[in-house]
């Protein structure tokens, strides 16, 4: 039976690597896979999904006004779709999440949506994540460790002095160097850990 899967984690836990491995496995077995990502995430170019390990694939970039159910239905009519994979699902809209549920229920196509569950301020990342938490059939946490060795469940944003940032914009595309995944106690304390502090102490190379 097709299901709507939500695979979530904090930052730098290997979500995209996992997604690209799943895509590869489907294709290797003759499957027809549709891969979508947000047009907002243009770190590697619009419509590019790339992991920190160097794996990459082309994807269909989604805008907030795009109807993903219509896109999938049209392709499914042309050639049966085996699975739909979503990267950076936190940037979608709640209506698009409901469309993913329709793809599962009406087209009987499994959907695997990857993204961040929490934002840096300790709440669910977006309305899309609220909808996904309500509608998903299956939840899988891709685990990451805090600098103390506990499981990281929170994302801490910090400034150039290593101080926690507790206000401002949630989304800062390309600002990975200002985020660290930590456990809840160290998120509360604003402790970014020794590795992040060491990186801050290194001199910035001249351009």
**CATH code at position 112:** 3.40.50.300
- What average pLDDT score do residues 150-155 get? 95
For residues 168 and 33, which has the higher predicted lDDT (pLDDT)? 33
123 assigned binding-site residue: no
pLDDT, averaged across the chain: 90
Mean pLDDT of 113-124: 94
pLDDT band at 20 (very low <50, low <70, confident <90, very high): very high
User: Binding site annotation covers 49?
Assistant: no
Mean pLDDT of 88-116: 97
Q: Which of 124, 143, 162 corresponds to the end of one domain?
A: 143
Write down which residue in 143, 161, 184 finishes a domain.
143
Tell whether 207 is covered by a domain: no
Identify the band that residue 185 occupies on the pLDDT scale cut at 50, 70 and 90: very high
Catalytic positions, written as ranges? 88
Residue 74 lies in a domain: yes
DSSP 118: B
Q: Judge whether 11 and 172 are in contact, CB under 8 Å.
A: no
Q: Please check whether residue 56 lies inside any domain of the structure.
A: yes
Residue 84 labelled as part of a binding site: no
Q: How many angstroms separate the first and last alpha carbons of the chain?
A: 54
Return the H-helix or E-strand segment holding 36.
strand 33-38
**What share of the chain in percent tops pLDDT 90?**
70
How many domains is the chain built from? 2
183 inside domain: yes
Asked whether residue 168 is assigned to any structural domain, the reply reads yes
Domain residue limits at 75: 4-143
Q: Is 48 annotated as a binding residue?
A: no
Asked if pLDDT for residue 119 goes beyond 70, the answer is yes
Same domain? 135 vs 183: no
B/e letters for 93-122, b = 16+ CB within 10 Å, e = fewer, are: bbebbebbbebbeebebbbbbbbbbbbbee
pLDDT at 176: 57
């Amino acid at each position: 039976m097709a299901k709507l899967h939500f695979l979530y984690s904090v930052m730098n836990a290997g979500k995209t690597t996992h997604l690209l491995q799943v895509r590869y496995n489907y294709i290797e077995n003759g499957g027809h896979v549709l891969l979508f990502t947000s047009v907002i995430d243009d770190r590697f170019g619009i419509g590019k999904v790339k992991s920190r390990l160097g794996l990459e694939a082309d994807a269909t970039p989604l805008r907030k006004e795009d109807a993903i159910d219509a896109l999938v239905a049209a392709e499914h009519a042309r050639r049966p779709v085996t699975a739909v994979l979503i990267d950076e699902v936190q940037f979608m809209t709640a209506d698009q999440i409901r469309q993913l549920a329709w793809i599962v229920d009406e087209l009987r196509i499994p959907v695997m949506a990857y993204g961040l569950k929490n934002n840096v301020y300790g709440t669910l990342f977006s309305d899309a994540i609220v909808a996904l938490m309500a509608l998903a059939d299956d939840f899988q946490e891709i685990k990451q460790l805090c600098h103390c060795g506990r499981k990281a469940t929170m994302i801490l944003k910090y400034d150039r002095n290593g101080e926690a940032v507790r206000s401002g914009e949630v989304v800062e595309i390309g600002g990975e160097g200002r985020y660290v995944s930590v456990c809840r106690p160290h998120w509360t304390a604003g402790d970014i850990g020794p590795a992040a502090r060491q990186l801050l102490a290194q001199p910035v190379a001249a351009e």
